[in-house]
Structure 1
């Protein structure tokens, strides 16, 4: 997705070029959010298995 933004920025579309700046900020935030979501899902699965064993 970022590749298309960078490509359009190179072509000269100012709107898309501005979006690439926000991608640098949103990228790490999405990565952190993904890690948190995966952690929560793993915790739910582990607790779910623990309840089934009992």
Structure 2
């Protein structure tokens, strides 16, 4: 999810499309939250760890 967010950020920046920039930031934030929750031991989506 973080990688997809970064890709959307790059495409949005290059193409000048602000909605892709916004979606990229949202995906990076959500991915980081899930990553942190998974790394401290909370089950995320039925899994004990999240990549």
Class of the TM-score when normalised by the shorter of the 2 chains: 0.3 to 0.5
TM-score, length-scaled by structure 2: 0.48
Rg comparison, structure with higher value: 1
Whose relative contact order is higher, 1 or 2, with alpha carbons under 8 Å and at least 6 apart? 2
Higher helix share: 1
